[in-house]
Amino acid sequence: MSRDTSYAAVMARKNEIMKASLGIDFDEFIQSPVAFDYEGMMRATGFSLEDLVRIQSETKVGNTPLYELRNLTAAVRKFAGPGKGATIYLKDEAANASGSFKARRASISAYQAAQKGYKGMIAATSGNYGAAVASQAAQRGLKCIIVQEVFDSRGVGQPEIIEKSRACEAYGAEVLKCTVGPELFYLLLLTLEETGFFNASLYTPFGIRGVETLGAEIARQTRERLGKDPDAVLITHAGGGNLTGTARGLLQAGCANTRIIGCSVDLEGLHMASDRDFNRKSFTTGHTGFGVPFATWPDRVDVPRNAARSLRYMDEYHLVTQGEVFYITELLTKLEGLERGPAGNTSLAAAVAVAREMDRDQVVVVQETEYTGAGKHHNSQLSFARQNGIDVRRGDPRENVPGKNIVIPERLEQVRGSAQDLEKLRLSYLKNAAKQLPAARWSENDLAFLAADVNKDAAWLRQRLPELSQ
């Protein structure tokens, strides 16, 4: 008898589908509704850092260049205060196969899928990860299906997403294109069940461990060139895997004093699942529509426990406007001769604001770039914004209103961004945890896990229990 493929029935089977498609029994690590053995789950991948480097080297991933941005640093120092203006370095992840850091995540999943005898891989993504999975699957002789949110209800797709669909298909993947809404996860589960393919989720331990090599490389390259650790590493933050993996790699390399700064495009007021808002934003990743909800509750994903846990590692969280990122994207091309995609320049825009406040003998590393071209190019994005009624103009980026205008700075010194309140995010996370298990019932193990998950100690957490128990 055929299985019930209704939405309700498929969602009810999600746990068994996930277990079959990953080869991971998450029940081994879950300790309570809020706590699990995080490090045990990461160790269960069975890979050492050396293993990860070797696996990635087989499929054109890793060992990407680290560039000093001399001209941009000099431009920042012209308006920074006396003795201020840290040197800015850029890790050029566009040099990976498929053109982004996402190749690091996909490479380990593809290796695992091949080793376990899966015939193919499936991923649900509208971003660079789809192209990365398709590229890595091709090199491992695996079939690939990408499930992608492309259109609003009018059938209109963002040029950036359409370009990523093209890239996925170029690498040989079949792309299942859907409209924005809840059907994405349903279609993913249904396709996993029907094909028996490996779930190359963004949020598995395999994917996050693949990014650890990026942090380790930054540490090694900075030490080789400068004889010191980076003072700050700026990491574009969306679902949290980029920041989590890079931070873990830096810590494994001994960079205990390096500031980990997450960066997102501020899209406050736009809802990512809204049909109306879908095409009123110019960034499909690296923005607060993902960065804030994933920071405040990571386990809202397609696996039982998310290996990407950004609050565990984030020291600061910096927001920038769409206009600031577009301005920096153009400036990187004109000053440094590097044409890279806007989404990957989110952390570069934040680096300008951060570097101006740091001492000149300090070093800031921007952790990634991404390839550009066709719909990913900033001119395509701005043209599409105008077509959707967005006012694009030059001026003060502080006048930016997501979904209404994009204000591109007139001068570099206007690129300042703003700080996100980490304490507010931590409390939101704990309130979400209390919805899973009332705070009054948290055990000592729960308290220890939750404190670690928000990068605080148990004493800090106990002080906040009264307001969580209300």
Q: CA-CA distance, 119 to 382, in Å (whole number)?
A: 40
Q: Specify the 3-state DSSP secondary structure of 318.
A: strand
CA 262 – CA 367 distance, rounded (Å) = 10
Considering the domain architecture, whether residues 294 and 375 belong to the same structural domain is answered as yes
Per-residue pLDDT of 65-124, as tens digits, reads: 999 999 999 999 999 999 999 999 999 999 999 999 999 999 999 999 999 999 999 999
Burial class (CB in 10 A: 0-12, 13-18, 19+), 67: middle
296-323: average pLDDT:
94
The answer to whether residues 321 and 176 belong to one domain is no
Q: Tokens 């405040």, residue? A: 296
Residue whose tokens read 């990523």: 164
Given 205, 226, 244, the domain boundary residue is 205
Percentages (nearest 5) of helix, strand, coil residues in the chain: 50, 15, 35
Domain end (from 205, 225, 246): 205
428 located within any domain: yes
Residues 250, 1: Cα–Cα separation, whole Å: 52
pLDDT digits (tens, 9 = 90+) for 329-375: 999 999 999 999 998 899 999 999 999 999 999 999 999 999 998 88
Within this chain, do residues 193 and 220 fall inside the same structural domain, yes or no? no
The answer to whether position 124 is within a domain reads yes
The rounded mean pLDDT for the chain is 93
User: Does residue 235 have a pLDDT over 90?
Assistant: yes
**If you average pLDDT over residues 28-33, what whole number do you get?**
96
If asked whether residues 356 and 309 sit together in one domain, one would say yes
pLDDT score of 304 more than 90: no
> Is pLDDT of 2 > 80?
no
232 and 135 inside one domain = no
Domain count, the chain: 3
368 inside domain: yes
91 & 172 share domain: no
Q: Are residues 95 and 111 in the same domain?
A: no
- What is the amino acid identity at position 152? D
Contact between residue 262 and residue 351 where contact means Cβ atoms under 8 Å apart: no
Is the sign of the CA dihedral 440, 442, 444, 450 positive or negative?
A: negative
Q: Which phi and psi angles does 302 have, rounded to 5°?
A: -90, 20
| Residue 30 bridge partners (DSSP) | 36
Q: How far apart are CA 99 and CA 166, in angstroms?
A: 14
Per-residue pLDDT, 360: 97
Tell me, yes or no, whether 295 lies in a domain: yes
Find the mean pLDDT for residues 27-52: 96
Q: Which pair of structure tokens corresponds to residue 22?
A: 């990953």
CATH number of the domain bearing residue 155? 3.40.50.1100
Burial class (CB in 10 A: 0-12, 13-18, 19+), 393: exposed
Examine residue 431 and state whether it is found in any structural domain, yes or no.
Answer: yes
pLDDT digits (tens, 9 = 90+) for 67-79: 999 999 999 999 9
- Burial class, 81, CB count within 10 angstroms (exposed 0-12 / middle 13-18 / buried 19+): exposed
Write down which residue in 205, 236, 252 finishes a domain. 205
Identify any residues that bridge with 84 across adjacent strands, giving them in sequence order: 359
Q: Is the residue at 172 inside a domain? A: yes
Task: For residues 117 and 201, give the distance between their C-alpha atoms in angstroms, rounded to a whole number.
Answer: 17
Asked if 242 and 359 sit in the same domain, the reply is yes
Q: Are residues 454 and 385 in the same domain?
A: no
Dist. CA 87–CA 73, nearest whole Å: 6
pTM: 0.95
Residue 18 belongs to some domain of the structure = yes
For 138, the 3-state DSSP assignment is helix
Question: Which pLDDT does position 197 carry in this prediction?
Answer: 97
Q: Do 131 and 164 share a domain, yes or no?
A: yes
Q: Is the residue at 1 inside a domain?
A: no
Q: Are 265 and 346 in contact (CB under 8 A)?
A: yes
Residue 470 confidence class, pLDDT cut points 50, 70, 90: low
Range of weakest confidence among 256-265, 270-279, 420-429: 270-279
433 and 407 belong to one structural domain: no
Q: Which domain holds residue 288?
A: 62-99+208-419
Whether residue 25 is found in the same domain as residue 128: yes
